[in-house]
Amino acid sequence: MTTVRATSRHIPDLESRSGELMRASAEACATSTDLAPDAVLVERIAALGDRVALAELDARHGMTLYAIAYTLLLNPDAADVTVAVTLRAAWRRAASFNAREQTVGRWLAGLTREAARDQLRRAVMPTSVPFARVPAREPPGHRAWTSRRLAWVAAALVLPLILLT
């Protein structure tokens, strides 16, 4: 067994609060340092629950995922939370990834867009609105919603450029 310290900004569970080191097999360390293909990393996450592989995906794609989230949300803190939610979703859905249909980068980008949209929906839609309080004219948040729609359009124009790099 080889000792590895796996650090990630978006995956706080990789190191215990006491600073205890994670243990990984020699094969896992060899493949992560030899730059295993992304699809192999996702397979390791699905089959072995390999957190080192998840940290490697974060290191490789984290900045791109952050750029996508920031483009949609226009909030650095919300974008950071969205990347963390994306990596948790990748952890849970790793078994459903099909390398023949898409690349890992596109799969992660889709998960990021989905998480950002969910966050926008939660921020825009009130949990409950009583009928007596619904205004007869334009709601006060209408301008904010319009600016968010413009942000979505800007993201749709920028996203292909991000995915091509």
Which of 63, 165, 158, 155 is closest to 113 using CA atoms? 155
- From residue 104, how far is each of 32, 53, 98, 110, 111 by CA, in Å? 16, 13, 9, 10, 10
Report the topology of domain 2-124+141-164.
Answer: Rna Polymerase Sigma Factor; Chain: A (1.10.1740)
| Contact (Cβ atoms closer than 8 angstroms) between residue 69 and residue 78 | yes
Q: Write down the pLDDT at residue 36.
A: 79
As a whole number, mean pLDDT of residues 92-108 equals 95
The C-alpha atoms of residue 99 and residue 115 are separated, in whole angstroms, by: 21
What's this model's pTM, rounded to 2 decimal places?
0.59
Q: Which of 34-43, 67-76, 112-121, 152-161 is the least confident region?
A: 152-161
Three-class SS state of 1: coil
